[in-house]
Amino acid sequence: MEGKAFLEIAQQLVQKRTEPALRSAISRAYYAAYNCCIQLLGELGFRFGQHAPAHEKVYQYLRNAGIIEIQDAADILNRLRRRRNSADYDMTSIEFQNHIVCQLDLAKAQAIILQIEKYSHEPFRTQLRNGLNNYHAKINH
């Protein structure tokens, strides 16, 4: 299964326009984007496991790869992660009652996926691999 398949489920959920569905849509959208990132990073030799710290590591590696588009995608992914955490854990939040805001989040997840797909092909793939390797060497000295 490809992670981006979660985005289709998110799009179905957002159409229901109920708070539980909108909260679930945010979660699925985040994981669609996150899993695309994890897959590409894994293909490039960077594996972070399946535990909570992996989310921060994915963000840090992408944020510090030295590529503006990837940095932007990392920042959006990090904001979606915060939204996902709020959707899943903060039942007092009223920010998940507006389906239009949630649709914007889904569009952001789609944008991340498109950037990651772009960098999964040459010559961008090598550029990303080099940036990730540089960051990895920097933090492991």
| Boundaries of domain holding 69 | 5-139
Q: How confident is the model at residue 51 (pLDDT cuts 50, 70, 90)?
A: confident
> What does the H/E/C string look like for the chain?
CCCCHHHHHHHHHHCCCCHHHHHHHHHHHHHHHHHHHHHHHHHCCCCCCCCCHHHHHHHHHHHCCCCHHHHHHHHHHHHHHHHHHHHHHCCCCCCCCCHHHHHHHHHHHHHHHHHHHHCCCCCHHHHHHHHHHHHHHHHCC
Give the CATH number of the domain where residue 36 resides: 1.20.120.330
Q: How confident is the model at residue 52 (pLDDT cuts 50, 70, 90)?
A: confident
Report the pLDDT averaged over residues 2-19: 94
Q: How confident is the model at residue 132 (pLDDT cuts 50, 70, 90)?
A: very high
Report the pLDDT averaged over residues 49-67: 94
Model pLDDT for residues 67-86, shown as the tens digit of each residue: 999 999 999 999 999 999 99
Identify the pLDDT of residue 58. Answer: 97
Domain count, the chain: 1
Report the pLDDT averaged over residues 53-74: 97
